[in-house]
Amino acid sequence: MNKTNLIKCVFAVAIGLFMLLVAPILVQITLDPLIIALQAAGPQYSSGITLFSLFYPLWRAVGYVAGIILLTIVPSIYKGKEWTMKVELTAYAIPSISGMFMFLPYISFVGGFPIPMMISFVGLLGFWSVILFHKHDNLLEKIVNLITYTFIGMLATHAFVIGIGAQRMLLTRPGQPGFAGLEWWILTLSGEVNWIAVLMLFGSIPLMAERKKNGWWLAFVPALTIITINIPTQIIRTKTLDYLIGALLAVGLLALLLIFKDRLIDENQITLRD
């Protein structure tokens, strides 16, 4: 019996059941007080009610499916099938990112115990365990993967939040249905660009797990894209530093991808099939 595979199975079963039975409840008890707080905050935050009422349940549904996926691949994890690594990482990334996204507005408007962080923490626990327990990587490779993949998740989370923020402000902008100046129409570009970057970053995870070049590029391009859109947006909209923070995260990811490119890519391009 392989103890490492058994431990990975325990993680998959426990987190899979968590995503099916516990996370949906946590999302709901997070969403309800958030909506009440937004109603009390004033009409300028009314768009947040619409957006969060859509995206909290949407992330919950995606997380539910991720839980099913984790449970169904447990036998293959136990057998040590290499292809399960990319599936595990992708499935665990969902609660990691969604929990952090839900945490930010919750802590801003509701406060108290950060309930959504429980979802994010559970996801990260599984995410990091896959990297640390991977039998074919040495210690340095595990550290590089841990930091790089975590940066991908951090940047994806921040970019998604930026997109939400752009939509929230646009829905309550002055002078509707027009766009009263550069500071407003720039949001119609930066928000959508950040959301596209999220999809690319998320898609890079399973490909990078196979050390494929296209996975590396799928992480590199959105990081560069976020820098090019967030910097001018920050210059135009100076009331918040959110765009600068996103650009700095993207710079950090670019640095990791470039410095450790040889360790993140397998030039032999061996596909994990067995």
How many angstroms separate the first and last alpha carbons of the chain? 18
CB 98 within 8 A of CB 33: no
Residues of the chain with pLDDT under 50: 270, 272-274
pLDDT of residue 273: 45
Question: How far is 200 from 179, CA to CA, in rounded Å?
Answer: 28
> Other C-beta atoms within 10 Å of 181: how many?
12
**Token output for 16:** 């899979």
**φ/ψ (deg, to 5) at 135:** -75, -20
DSSP one-letter string for 188-213: HHHHHHHHHHHHHHHHHHHHHHTT-H
pLDDT of residue 268: 67
CB 223 within 8 A of CB 211: no
pLDDT of residue 173: 87
pLDDT of residue 269: 57
Tell me the three state secondary structure of residue 272. coil
pLDDT of residue 45: 87
CB 35 within 8 A of CB 56: no
Would you state the torsion angle of the CA atoms of residues 219, 222, 228, 233, taken in this order, to the nearest 10 degrees? -130
Question: How far is 106 from 98, CA to CA, in rounded Å?
Answer: 12
